[in-house]
């Protein structure tokens, strides 16, 4: 297994709230291996909405997304795209 990570910034006004956390978890659950969301050295399971919400990530937060295996690169890219498009919340 080869880990891979990407850094993203929360750009939507509401930050990582329940709806955006649910979207991340929905995508992460399709992975073959673990997917992680990391903020300020706190690492949580990306497939858990509640775990993601514990990161308290308002707009401007720097987040690292990490996968445990490169076979899940499409999962990582899908989650990164959600961040880059503000989870569809940008006006």
- Mean pLDDT, to the nearest integer, of 75-82? 98
Q: Tokens for 43?
A: 């690492």
Quick one: pLDDT band at residue 63, thresholds 50, 70, 90? very high
Q: Beginning with the edge strand found earlier in the chain, give each strand of the sheet holding 35-39 in spatial order.
A: 4-9, 62-67, 35-39, 42-45
Global pTM?
0.94
Closest CA relative to residue 35, chosen from 73, 8, 61: 73
Residue 7's beta-bridge partner residues? 64
Of residues 66 and 91, which shows the higher confidence score? 66
Q: Tokens for 1?
A: 């297994």
- The range of the structural domain enclosing residue 38 comes to 4-88
How many domains does the structure of the chain reveal? 1
- Residue by residue, DSSP assigns 18-45 as HHHHHHHHHHHTT-SS-EEEEETTEEEE
Supply the CATH number for residue 30's domain.
3.30.1340.10
């Amino acid at each position: 297994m080869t880990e891979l990570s990407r850094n993203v910034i929360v750009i939507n006004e509401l930050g990582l709230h329940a709806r955006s956390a649910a979207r991340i978890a929905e995508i992460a659950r399709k992975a073959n291996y673990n997917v992680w969301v990391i903020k300020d050295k706190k690492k949580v399971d990306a497939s858990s909405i509640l775990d993601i919400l514990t990161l308290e990530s308002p707009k401007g937060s720097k987040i690292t997304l990490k996968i445990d295996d490169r076979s899940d690169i499409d999962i990582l890219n899908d989650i990164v795209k959600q961040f880059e498009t503000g989870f569809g919340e940008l006006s």
